[in-house]
Amino acid sequence: MAKSLLPFASFSGADPDFSVDHEGWRSLEAAYANGVFPGPARERLAAIGRAYLADRRTETVWQSYRDVEALLPAYDKAAKAIWAIAYENHPRSDASSELESILERALASEPLRIQPARGDLLFLTGELEEWTDFGQLFQAPEGAYAVRFGLDLIREMAMNFRVALTKAEHEIQRRADESRNDRRQTATERLILLLVGWAKAFGFHHAPYIDGTEPAPFARFVRAFLTLVPSSFREERDLTDAALAAQIKRVKSADKAHKREQEQARLAKANAPLGSDNPL
């Protein structure tokens, strides 16, 4: 089962390229007796190689929503600390009044820099239907404003932060649950099925075994293909022809079972009584 992945890869760089030189084509063709790949077959294999590298990159670089979830405790700790400062640690006493007085003066000397021209200020009022940029309502100067804030604003921030964090926790959990099974196959499993499709399209043998026991030429071909992948994108273990033949058999069987389940679900939906999918 493949790992549930985030729908972006902002920090992973450009997609790697897949290229095959003369010796590489010879090694691929050598898997088949007297095998010579025509131009279109080579072009399709190169495209499959690029797709495989992109898939492998996602598996090694992208993160899952469980990784996002793991970042929550630090934010939760910060939210609890701000909440305690704003609402729990303020018993009315001479000491608390003196502390607030000192903090107010200290905060006044540490202003926030707000740049309206940069889009730092958004407004929402009874006259506005949606959040509106300051520059659309007023003449926005290019410089920055110095804005002072006090303890009352910190209390408001504590409330908003706590509510926002709770919403974020629910959203992350929902996305994690939705994406749990969003990728049914690993990059190598998808590669095997693409190469099976390629072999069928160009008339090459694609069964994993000869007589059910000995690895077939297709297993040697897949292994040769994987050796052409840049080392940084190869799987940790170097599979033998026998191991690849077994994996090819498993992948093809799983794909057939999945397609059969999809077809059965489609037929069941098509034959369902009218209105049966409408809950009362």
In whole angstroms, give the CA distance from residue 248 to residue 226: 13
pLDDT at 2 (0 to 100): 45
pLDDT at 142 (0 to 100): 73
pLDDT at 208 (0 to 100): 93
Q: Residue 183 pLDDT more than 60?
A: no
Structure tokens that stand for 70 in this block: 């793991």
217-259: pLDDT as tens digits: 999 999 999 999 988 888 767 788 999 999 999 999 998 998 8
Q: Residue 280 pLDDT more than 50?
A: no
Q: Residue 210 pLDDT more than 70?
A: yes
* Statement: the pTM of the whole predicted model exceeds 0.75: no
208, exposed or middle or buried, with CB in 10 Å at 0-12, 13-18, 19+?
buried
The proportion of the chain whose per-residue pLDDT surpasses 70, expressed as a percent, equals 87
pLDDT at 236 (0 to 100): 66
pLDDT at 28 (0 to 100): 94
- pLDDT grade for 269, boundaries at 50, 70 and 90: confident
64-92: pLDDT as tens digits: 787 888 899 999 999 999 888 888 876 67
